[in-house]
Chain A
């Protein structure tokens, strides 16, 4: 399992536990979400987290991004001199995370604005990023004038503009139609090839999670814990048809078997 082509660990999630709605009066009413979750992600590695809906995947990402504090355990993110802090986050519902009163370009530049970078250079940087990632959208359009796929590309560019060493994505393509979804899976691989970094990709779609993963983590539910970890040693880019290959089917069969066992528990 330690066999990996990635040299240095970037993110280390160490025995993270989380419960919700615990109150002093009724200790029995605790909603135990995460139980001793541990895994690590190396630079340039994509780790897929797969698990049933409501198993706490979003909570885990929020803990990694620093939005929510863990009850116990910790998340360590390695940071070398001169590197930008923070985690890039692509949220599940782009409509609720993009700022509709700002143009696409101003949305992408938003993290730079927070850092106090002046309007001219942040616009330059946003345009430069779009060019580099080969994202073709009208920067002057407002989010509601863009398609769902385009809006999620804006969200991805926004997450990358400050050059974080870690990118987390929470079911980013969950609300897109099938065709857009396939296109976006390819686009994400392309972006990853241009600018590789540690990526944590949450999905509730086995095909998507396996297609994108270097490593696939299966989470059990209530409380969630890492049930199984599978390497996906397939070179990139992986075309959409790869999901019909013999190798893919074997992997999927293995994962599905484990998933059914977990779900039956």
Chain B
């Protein structure tokens, strides 16, 4: 660990504290670090903090895993067959350009107000990213490696399993990392606008409605922390799993 790493967080907190302590920003818009900390403390004592985190992470994990299960096979299929890809290219480009929030009402109609709607929209958004990255991974796999395998007598199945798939893996894993970040965004937003009993998004939104700025900021910090840890975990896994990436 580099010592310089600590500088950034310290500066942020000090500036934050100065802004509130000097009265430069009104407490309604920015609560002090102390108030936010005590809000976090109260929320953990009454258990609501962990209920919120648990609800959000559970939706995220289920939605993301479904996205992986649907996205990777679909992406492999589209990558392997250029005719199939041409057949779905336009709708695929259309849907990936469509903001997830625009289809919230549609998912509410189809799945109701509960968790299924939130998970479905998370899966939908996350899967599109995975499909596209997996597909590009397969399509940009190095032809020379496949030719080499063919010379050594590999069947089409062997070429796919032993050459194309591992060759596409760095791109697939990168897709997963981008997808999980997007899934977190969609879960949080869906909790804000679809209504629920627990969730980080709900907590932030309700606190905002009630002008409870310390609680709102506490929720924002927790959401940021979850996203940060997810990204870090994926980056570490990426370096280990696809160590050859970029070569």
The interface of chain A, by Cβ under 8 A from chain B, is 62, 65-67, 85-89, 91, 93, 95-101, 110-111, 113-115, 142-144, 158, 162
Given contacts A96-B142, A114-B153, A114-B158, contact A101 B244 (CB under 8 A): yes
The interface of chain B, by Cβ under 8 A from chain A, is 142-145, 147-154, 158, 162-163, 166-167, 169, 242-244, 247
Given contacts A93-B144, A101-B166, contact A110 B149 (CB under 8 A): yes
B147 touches A97 (CB 8 A): yes
A200 CB to nearest B CB, Å = 13
Name which of B143, B163, B244 has the most chain A CB atoms within 10 A of its CB: B244
B147 touches A91 (CB 8 A): yes
A99 touches B154 (CB 8 A): no
Instruction: Return chain A residues, CB-CB under 8 Å to B152.
Output: 86, 110-111, 114, 158, 162
Residue in chain A with minimal CB distance to B144: A96
A99 touches B151 (CB 8 A): no
Residue in chain A with minimal CB distance to B244: A100
A111 touches B153 (CB 8 A): yes
Kindly identify which residue among A89, A111, A144 contacts B244, using a CB–CB cutoff of 8 Å.
A144
Residue in chain A with minimal CB distance to B153: A114
Q: Give the distance in Å from the alpha carbon of A62 to the alpha carbon of B150 in the complex.
A: 11
Given contacts A96-B145, A114-B158, contact A144 B247 (CB under 8 A): yes
Q: Give the distance in Å from the alpha carbon of A114 to the alpha carbon of B157 in the complex.
A: 11
A103 CB to nearest B CB, Å = 11
Kindly identify which residue among B151, B162, B167 contacts A66, using a CB–CB cutoff of 8 Å.
B151
Instruction: Return chain A residues, CB-CB under 8 Å to B154.
Output: 114
B244 touches A115 (CB 8 A): no
Instruction: Return chain A residues, CB-CB under 8 Å to B169.
Output: 101
